[in-house]
Amino acid sequence: MATLNLNIEQIIRLVKQLAIPEQHMILQAIKAEEDTWWQNRLNYGEIQMRSLSTTQGLNWDLMTEQEREEFIDNILHEQ
């Protein structure tokens, strides 16, 4: 199978040559990949927050949203 090396501008020009429904399909596929990436990042961050709260004697699952926000704010502003 041959490999085609294109730069981003060439890819954009090719996509623009497609009919609108096909362009929409491409955008949906890209959006799905992005959503998956963000969900993975969110899951990783939550795991980290659970672990960090546990090391400080807190239970992430029992904390209110306000307590979580204060916890994160304290972490961000520690010197």
Residue ranges per structural domain of the chain: 23-76
**Contact indicator for 70, 60 with CB cutoff of 8 Å:** no
Could you report the average pLDDT of every consecutive run of 10 residues in the chain (79 residues)?
A: 93 97 97 97 95 95 96 87
pTM of this structure: 0.65
Q: Which residues contact residue 60 at a Cβ distance below 8 angstroms, ignoring those fewer than 6 apart?
A: 46, 49, 50, 53, 54, 68
**Contact indicator for 38, 45 with CB cutoff of 8 Å:** no
DSSP, collapsed to helix, strand or coil, labels residue 66 as helix
pLDDT score, position 79: 58
Q: Which residues contact residue 58 at a Cβ distance below 8 angstroms, ignoring those fewer than 6 apart?
A: 71
pLDDT score, position 64: 96
Which tokens in the block code for residue 75?
């972490």
pLDDT score, position 1: 85
